[in-house]
């Protein structure tokens, strides 16, 4: 998934002045009427080496399945986590200001791995027009303290934060209030990169969230050719239903 190619996006949206302040837009010509746009956040343990390109195949497959997507880039500077969070919020505001993309409806916010962490975090702290209509977290780093204790990604959590996870409960989804919109988590039971135990810990603290365990590894949940992909589409269908 880190090397697979995808067709170019239909548009590259700029949402700020930094080089990273861009987002790939893919339209879905056969989207059912009223279907919300999906803002899709990439993973990579918040590290500069990994960008939105590896989500291209997933975003392309979602568009074919009738889900328009916007995949933002965000700044990934070790020790400066607030930059990434600010960028996701700015991208959401920029997308909300494009009714030709959103149809005037709240977007669904989705993310994989570190992007799942950012989706859960931003949804927990968003309000009003900035709040998404639903959240889909795919193999998320949903509990920073547990992720740090497990040494995920050779110390990725501490590298991202620049300090101990206990010092930043404001960036830890497991320790923030429950998001107002509905939350679905799809996580592989065979995930050796981000163990499903992190999502289980999140759901214990936020019992309104729904965890969908699938027999898969870390990248299967963003692989359109994997057996786990239908579970991802089903979760989106649930979140996208009018309420």
Backbone region of residue 66 per phi and psi (left: phi > 0; alpha: psi in -120 to 50; beta: other values) = left
Residue 2: pLDDT band with limits 50, 70, 90? low
Residue 34, pLDDT > 90, answer no
The helix/strand/coil state of 137 is strand
- As assigned by CATH, the class of the 11-240 domain is alpha beta
Per-residue pLDDT tens digits for 180-225 = 999 999 999 999 999 999 999 999 999 999 999 999 999 999 999 9
Q: Is the pTM of this model over 0.85?
A: yes
C-alpha torsion angle, residues 143, 205, 186, 138 (rounded to 10): -30
State pLDDT tens for residues 120-162.
999 999 977 778 999 999 999 999 999 999 999 999 999 999 9
């Amino acid at each position: 998934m880190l090397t697979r190619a995808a067709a170019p996006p239909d548009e590259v949206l700029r949402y700020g002045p930094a080089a990273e302040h861009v987002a790939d837009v893919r339209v879905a010509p056969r989207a059912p009427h009223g279907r919300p746009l999906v803002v899709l956040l990439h993973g990579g343990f918040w590290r500069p080496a990994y960008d939105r390109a590896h989500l291209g195949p997933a975003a392309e497959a979602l568009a074919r399945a009738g889900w328009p997507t916007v995949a933002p880039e965000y700044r990934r500077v070790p020790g400066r986590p607030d930059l990434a969070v600010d960028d996701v919020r700015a991208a959401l505001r920029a997308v909300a200001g494009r009714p030709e993309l959103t149809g005037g409806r709240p977007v669904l916010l989705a993310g994989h791995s570190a992007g799942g962490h950012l989706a859960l975090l931003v949804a927990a702290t968003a309000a009003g027009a900035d709040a998404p209509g639903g959240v889909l977290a795919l193999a998320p780093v949903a509990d920073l303290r547990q992720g740090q204790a497990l040494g995920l990604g050779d110390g990725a959590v501490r590298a991202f934060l620049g300090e101990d996870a206990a010092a930043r409960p404001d960036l830890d989804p497991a320790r923030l209030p429950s998001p107002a919109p509905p939350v679905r988590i799809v996580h592989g039971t065979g995930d050796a990169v981000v163990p499903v135990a992190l999502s289980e810990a999140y759901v214990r603290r936020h019992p309104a969230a729904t965890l969908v365990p699938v027999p898969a590894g870390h990248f299967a949940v963003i692989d359109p050719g994997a057996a786990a992909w239908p579970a991802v589409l089903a979760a989106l269908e649930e979140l996208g239903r009018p309420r």
